[in-house]
């Protein structure tokens, strides 16, 4: 019989605070097969790991159980330690007595009993564990980056610069994202487009980057190192390979559509380039608004295009690519003002959001940087900035802080004051949050030197009264209600994930959190990886953040991809399904239940085999197999039976 | 004719009985009868402004229990305050076990003294919020459908610009009332449109008129009423429509004081929604009790032709 060692971790007070760890060790020692048991304060520390290695040798252990935290955290740590001491890594198992026991219970006696049972189940399992070898799989050294904002741009450039090919997919016709819309950036006030466009051009020219704009992800299958991705290239209705980007068609188009790029402050044609610095600088026809597609008449763009690049019959193309790693950088939208009924529900023309004000401030914007309000073009003399419009409001809107608004509102008020010297900006805020290099100084200067009035309190209601926009708020520092008859109101609306994030996350099978942002594998230590291997995230799609943080995260994700590609083979967990060929009747039920297409019918042998590279070890086919031919390695029927027995208190 | 249990409440029973009459007239034309409860008391009208958790729920619970015990599952009110009181009482009883038990203990306790109800031999059972409390406007919107009203119009209100006034208690608190978006409601505007009049949207339509402050600090109420009324007029309204007798009192009668306090102020007629409804359905002008209004409504009536004869008839 195997000689099993059990090591019970205190995890400081994380486990020992609720579970009597010494007793767990004493009880474990009595379990059949257990030759040795002990407890230690931090099993994962170097001295803790050393203990495990020493005891394996001293006690001549054949298998070890670490009763500690979730296997997600330290299974690989302890398997490596076991291997160093000469054991097969699959003779090391984790008994999770933290997440599944001490953290969720408060009754010490009951928690201790439960911890003993959890250890018991793993003892029951490990007695029958086989020694396994990892499955080796090859890697396609090509990355996919989804989203062409600053996060996607940075990640694509970093990977491409290290020599690996990258496909950058963007749903709009140009890359650039929201950063291209911004006027100047805090806290240094450098022009956003000036620092962004060189990077956009670099993406367009990079020999290792294949840029696919106006494209969306259709389907993703496969696994780390070996994804198969279908990309839909939406019909642009313009032959981009011949189009010179002269812009004549966009000038002549008679349709008038509110410009998304200018936040509806200007209009564009149905054939359009979103902004002059677009990469690629090629137009697309927005078929929903094109007069020809709606009425069958017009084709003015076709008439003016001398090259004949307009192609009304173009169809969507599906392109299949083999990919090794995927970075998702889907970015954000802002909560529509229409969702804020107390702030005019989008019906008051001089209530705009922060991005619209960016366009008004921008030298390339609709007013060439002169501050003029949308309703009548007047230069506003009193401007109210409302922070947390939809953020930090768990009862009605979003519970979280949108993080960037304190800084960009300060920037807005400052830039406004610089352009309209006799104007008065007011800022309503809940708290001013200026964590970041140079941020507090920036705010301090704005408040102390620039005459911006900060009012601590929330705004209750905004409505139009004549040509004024009236703001009702409270100054909680003086306890007074405030009414301001403003000329313009700018709302710092909550940052929300893009509409397509949920659907895309579903296709990729990656996780999102309660507010729809993409979830990282660990909030502190694995901030750019998803739980699923081969998937990485960057930018505001993961949570509100500013440009420096976004760029840092994107470079981090790129480095993770580069480090993955630096290997020639990947090692995959061998605890997958296998088939007893003598028992398999070839009924193929397993094929219908496998979510990973890992089961294949062998015509010759008339049995169903397992593709070990595709199998994720989910166990669906094992449960579905009626004749018991399919088993999972190190999780056989007899192992499960002895685990159930142990969990019920039997032996 | 279909009958729906109806709770008039004190104001509509006494001081504003003409509004009660217009509601009965209108609903009869629409094909259902407001069937007044056999016996009822004041709803208390305090839960909206009181922090006491149990005592103020007893009276409204008793009313609701009587409705249930009479075998009916819906109760109509036409007063915002009664609606708010009854609906929130129901909400507490449905969602709070302790309140439900304590209120029922009180109700059980006072049963013996109610021997005047001769036929009350039903075995005791706790009131658990079975009755649905409905505002008449809500009934018209959800049960009858506004389109049905338009079909039966005898005298279109076309040409009249009407500013709906919601006040506070009809829509708030939203979690308990769930009638319409409290910040940007449409139920009254849609009602006005059903009568073929033009609704006027103005920023003060959901602001408080002062409510009971009218008694304790009338100046505050005067200021609030001035802001509401002048905002409606500034936005082009010929008249105001309300659905609460207290709002009606504040916005109509108080105009006398507003005139004294604000020299620039001009008066504007105020209608109860049931008056507009019954007018539009062809009920004679002289059944509306307009003589009891402080502000003369005839300028508004002239815009639609106040002959009393239906121009659609």
CA-to-CA dists, residue B186 to A195, A458, B173, angstroms:
47, 25, 16
Tell which residue, A381, A390, A357, has the closest CA to residue A264. A357
Whether A420 and A376 map to the same domain: the answer is: yes
The CATH code of the domain that includes A599 is: 3.30.70.20
Tell which of A331, A357, A374 closes a domain. A331
State how far the Cα of A407 lies from the Cα of A579, in Å rounded to an integer: 60
State how far the Cα of A577 lies from the Cα of A190, in Å rounded to an integer: 57
**Residue limits of CATH 1.20.1050.140 in chain B:** 2-134
Nearest CA distance, B182 vs chain A (angstrom): 9
Tell whether B181 is within 8 A of chain A (Cβ).
Answer: yes
Decide if A341 and B183 are in contact by the 8 Å CB cutoff: yes
**Cβ atoms within 10 Å, residue A461:** 18
CATH code for the domain defined by B2-134: 1.20.1050.140
Are B37 and B7 in contact, with CB atoms under 8 Å apart?
yes
Identify the pLDDT of residue A51: 95
pLDDT along chain A (651 residues), means of 10: 95 96 96 95 95 96 96 93 96 97 96 96 95 92 98 98 98 97 95 96 97 96 91 96 94 95 95 95 96 94 94 96 97 96 94 97 93 96 97 95 97 96 96 95 93 95 93 95 97 97 94 95 92 93 97 98 94 91 93 88 93 87 93 93 90 64
Q: Is A251 exposed, middle or buried (0-12, 13-18, 19+ CB in 10 A)?
A: exposed
Are A371 and A418 in contact, with CB atoms under 8 Å apart?
no
Cα torsion A254, A260, A263, A268 to 10°: value is: -20
Are B163 and B241 in contact, with CB atoms under 8 Å apart?
yes
> Does A564 fall in a domain?
no
What is the per-residue pLDDT across A281-314, written as a single tens digit (0 to 9) for each? 999 999 999 999 999 999 999 999 999 999 999 9
Decide if B183 and A464 are in contact by the 8 Å CB cutoff: no
Tell whether A522 is within 8 A of chain B (Cβ).
Answer: no
Tell which residue, B244, B83, B219, B221, has the closest CA to residue B165. B244
Give the single-character DSSP code of A180: G
Whether A492 and A428 map to the same domain: the answer is: yes
Q: At what angle do helices A108-126 and A21-29 cross, to 10 degrees?
A: 40
Decide if A341 and B203 are in contact by the 8 Å CB cutoff: no
Are B193 and B153 in contact, with CB atoms under 8 Å apart?
no
> Does A527 fall in a domain?
no
Decide if A341 and B181 are in contact by the 8 Å CB cutoff: yes
**Residue limits of CATH 3.40.50.11810 in chain B:** 155-304
Give the HSE-up count for residue A19: Cα atoms under 13 Å, Cβ half-sphere: 38
> Does A281 fall in a domain?
yes
Identify the pLDDT of residue B308: 45
Tell whether B115 is within 8 A of chain A (Cβ).
Answer: no
Whether A279 and A298 map to the same domain: the answer is: yes
Decide if B203 and A461 are in contact by the 8 Å CB cutoff: yes
Task: Give DSSP secondary structure letters for B20-41.
Answer: HHHHHHHHHHHTEEEEE-SS--
**β-pair partners for A332:** A497
**Cβ atoms within 10 Å, residue B312:** 12
Structure tokens at A168: 């950058």
- CA B29, B30, B33 angle in degrees (round to 5)? 85
Whether A172 and A31 map to the same domain: the answer is: no
Are B183 and B206 in contact, with CB atoms under 8 Å apart?
yes
Identify the pLDDT of residue B116: 56
Mutate to test the interface with A, among B168, B183, B187 (most CBs of A within 10 A): B183
Measured between CB atoms, which of A341, A466, A470 is closest to B184? A341
Decide if B183 and A345 are in contact by the 8 Å CB cutoff: yes
Domain tally for chain A? Answer: 4
pLDDT along chain B (313 residues), means of 10: 92 88 95 92 75 86 92 94 94 93 86 56 84 96 95 94 94 92 93 96 91 88 94 95 93 94 95 96 93 94 65 42
> Does A505 fall in a domain?
no
Whether A324 and A216 map to the same domain: the answer is: yes
Report the b/e string of B15-52 with b at 16+ CB within 10 A.
ebebbbbbbbbbbebbebebeebeebeebbbbbbeeee
- CA A155, A161, A164 angle in degrees (round to 5)? 85
- Domain containing A605 equals 576-632
B155-304 placed in CATH 3.40.50.11810 = yes
> Does A25 fall in a domain?
yes
Whether A389 and A456 map to the same domain: the answer is: yes
Whether A298 and A161 map to the same domain: the answer is: yes
Q: Is B103 exposed, middle or buried (0-12, 13-18, 19+ CB in 10 A)?
A: buried
State how far the Cα of A169 lies from the Cα of A165, in Å rounded to an integer: 13
> Does A396 fall in a domain?
yes
Whether A295 and A178 map to the same domain: the answer is: yes
Measured between CB atoms, which of B183, B203, B234 is closest to A470? B203
Nearest CA distance, B218 vs chain A (angstrom): 20
Tell whether B231 is within 8 A of chain A (Cβ).
Answer: yes
Any residues with CB less than 8 A from the CB of A186 and at least 6 apart, and which?
A: A407, A408, A410, A411, A439, A442, A546
Which chain B positions have a beta carbon within 8 Å of A466's beta carbon?
234
Helix (H) or strand (E) holding A295: helix A291-295
Q: At what angle do helices A547-565 and A150-161 cross, to 10 degrees?
A: 30
Tell whether B235 is within 8 A of chain A (Cβ).
Answer: no
The dihedrals phi and psi of B286, each to the nearest 5 degrees, come to -75, -5
Whether A290 and A336 map to the same domain: the answer is: no
Identify the pLDDT of residue B311: 45
Tell whether A464 is within 8 A of chain B (Cβ).
Answer: yes
Give the single-character DSSP code of A544: -
Any residues with CB less than 8 A from the CB of A221 and at least 6 apart, and which?
A: A227, A228, A597
Nearest CA distance, A347 vs chain B (angstrom): 11
> Does A487 fall in a domain?
yes
> Does A197 fall in a domain?
yes
Tell which residue, B217, B273, B216, has the closest CA to residue B79. B273
User: What is the pTM (predicted TM-score) of this model?
Assistant: 0.81
Whether A251 and A323 map to the same domain: the answer is: yes
Whether A379 and A242 map to the same domain: the answer is: no
Whether A382 and A449 map to the same domain: the answer is: yes
Identify the pLDDT of residue A574: 93
The CATH code of the domain that includes A192 is: 3.50.50
Chain A, nearest residue to B181 by Cα:
A341
Tell which of A331, A364, A394 closes a domain. A331
Mutate to test the interface with A, among B166, B176, B184 (most CBs of A within 10 A): B184
């Amino acid at each position: 019989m195997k000689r099993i060692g059990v090591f019970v971790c205190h995890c400081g007070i994380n486990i020992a605070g609720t579970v009597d760890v010494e007793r767990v060790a004493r009880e474990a020692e009595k379990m059949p097969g257990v030759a040795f048991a002990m407890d230690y304060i931090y099993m994962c520390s170097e001295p803790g790991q050393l203990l495990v290695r020493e005891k394996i040798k001293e006690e001549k252990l054949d298998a070890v159980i670490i009763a500690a935290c979730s296997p997600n955290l330290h299974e690989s740590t302890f398997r490596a330690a076991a291997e160093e001491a000469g054991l097969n890594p699959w003779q090391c198992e984790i008994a999770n007595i933290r997440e599944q026991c001490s953290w969720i219970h408060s009754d010490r006696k009951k928690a201790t009993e439960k911890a003993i049972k959890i250890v018991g189940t793993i003892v029951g399992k490990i007695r029958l564990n086989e020694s396994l070898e990892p499955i080796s799989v090859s890697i396609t050294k090509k990355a996919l980056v989804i989203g062409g904002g600053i996060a996607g741009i940075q990640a694509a450039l970093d990977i491409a610069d290290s020599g690996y090919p990258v496909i950058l997919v963007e749903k709009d016709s140009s890359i650039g994202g929201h950063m291209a819309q911004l006027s100047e950036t805090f806290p240094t006030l450098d022009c956003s487009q000036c620092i962004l466009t060189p990077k956009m051009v670099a993406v367009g020219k990079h020999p290792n980057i294949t840029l696919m704009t106006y494209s969306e992800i259709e389907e993703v299958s496969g696994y780390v190192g070996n994804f198969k991705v279908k990309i839909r290239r939406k019909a642009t209705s313009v032959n981009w390979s011949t189009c010179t980007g002269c812009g004549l068609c966009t000038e002549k188009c008679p349709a008038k559509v509110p410009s998304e790029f200018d936040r509806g402050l200007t209009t564009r044609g149905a054939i359009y380039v979103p902004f002059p610095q677009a990469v690629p600088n090629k137009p697309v026809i927005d078929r929903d608004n094109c007069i020809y597609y709606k009425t069958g008449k017009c084709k003015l763009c076709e008439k003016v295009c001398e090259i004949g690049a307009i192609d009304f019959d173009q169809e969507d193309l599906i392109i299949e690519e083999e990919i090794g790693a995927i970075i998702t950088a889907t970015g954000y939208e802002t909560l529509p003002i229409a969702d804020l009924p107390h702030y005019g529900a989008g019906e008051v023309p001089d209530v705009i959001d922060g991005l619209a004000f960016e366009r008004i401030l921008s030298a390339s914007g609709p007013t060439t940087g002169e501050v003029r309000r949308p309703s009548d073009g007047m230069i506003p003399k009193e401007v109210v900035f409302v922070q947390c419009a939809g953020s930090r409001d768990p009862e009605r809107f979003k519970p979280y802080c949108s993080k960037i608004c304190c800084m960009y509102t300060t920037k807005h008020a400052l830039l406004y004051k610089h352009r309209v010297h006799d104007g008065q900006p007011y800022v309503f805020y809940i708290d001013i949050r200026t964590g970041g290099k140079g941020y507090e100084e920036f705010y301090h200067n704005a408040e102390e030197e620039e005459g911006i009035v900060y009012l601590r309190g929330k705004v209750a209601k905004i409505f139009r009264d004549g040509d004024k926009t009236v703001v009702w708020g409270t100054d909680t520092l003086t306890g007074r209600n405030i009414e301001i008859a403003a000329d313009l109101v700018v709302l710092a609306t909550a940052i929300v994930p893009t509409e397509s994030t949920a659907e895309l996350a579903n296709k990729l099978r990656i996780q999102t959190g309660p507010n729809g942002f993409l979830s990282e594998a660990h909030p502190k230590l694995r901030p750019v990886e998803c739980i699923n291997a081969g998937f990485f995230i960057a930018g505001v799609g993961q949570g509100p953040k500013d440009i420096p943080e976004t760029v840092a995260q994107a470079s981090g994700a790129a480095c993770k991809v580069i480090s993955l590609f630096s290997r020639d083979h990947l090692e995959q967990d061998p605890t997958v399904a296998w088939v007893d060929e003598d028992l398999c009747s070839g009924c193929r039920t397993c094929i219908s239940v496998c979510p990973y297409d890992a089961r294949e019918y062998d015509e010759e042998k008339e049995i169903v085999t397992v593709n070990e590279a595709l199998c994720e070890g989910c166990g669906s086919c094992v449960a579905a197999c009626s004749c018991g031919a399919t088993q999972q390695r190190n999780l056989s029927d007899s192992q499960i039976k002895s685990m159930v027995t142990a969990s019920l208190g039997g032996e | 004719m279909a009958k729906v249990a109806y709770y008039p409440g004190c104001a509509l029973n006494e001081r504003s009985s003409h509004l009660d009459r217009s509601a009965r007239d209108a609903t009869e034309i629409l094909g259902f009868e407001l069937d007044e409860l056999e016996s009822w008391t004041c709803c208390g009208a305090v839960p909206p402004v009181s922090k006491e958790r149990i005592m103020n729920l007893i009276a409204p619970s008793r009313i609701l229990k009587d409705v249930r015990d009479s075998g009916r599952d819906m109760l109509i009110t036409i007063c915002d305050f009664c609606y708010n009181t009854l609906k929130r009482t129901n909400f507490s009883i449905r969602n709070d076990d302790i309140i439900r038990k304590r209120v029922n203990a009180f109700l059980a306790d006072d049963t013996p003294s109610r021997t005047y109800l001769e036929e009350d031999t039903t075995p005791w059972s706790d009131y658990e919020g079975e009755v649905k409390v409905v505002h008449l406007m809500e009934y018209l919107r959800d049960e009858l459908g506004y389109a049905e009203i338009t079909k039966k119009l005898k005298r279109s209100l076309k040409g009249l610009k009407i500013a709906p006034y919601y006040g506070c208690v009809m829509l708030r608190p939203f979690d308990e009332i769930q009638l319409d978006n409290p910040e940007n409601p449409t139920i009254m505007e849609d009602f006005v449109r059903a009568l073929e009049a033009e609704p006027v949207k103005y920023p003060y339509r959901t602001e408080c008129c002062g409510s009971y402050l009218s008694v304790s600090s009338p100046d505050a109420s005067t200021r609030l009423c001035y802001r509401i009324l002048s905002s409606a007029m500034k936005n082009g309204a010929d008249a105001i429509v309300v659905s609460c007798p207290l709002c009606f009192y504040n916005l109509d009668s108080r105009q006398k004081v507003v005139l004294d306090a604000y020299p620039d102020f001009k008066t504007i007629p105020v209608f109860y929604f049931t008056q507009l409804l019954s007018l539009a359905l062809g009920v004679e002008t002289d059944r509306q009790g307009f003589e009891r209004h402080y502000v003369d409504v005839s300028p508004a009536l002239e815009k639609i032709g106040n002959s009393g004869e239906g121009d659609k008839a």
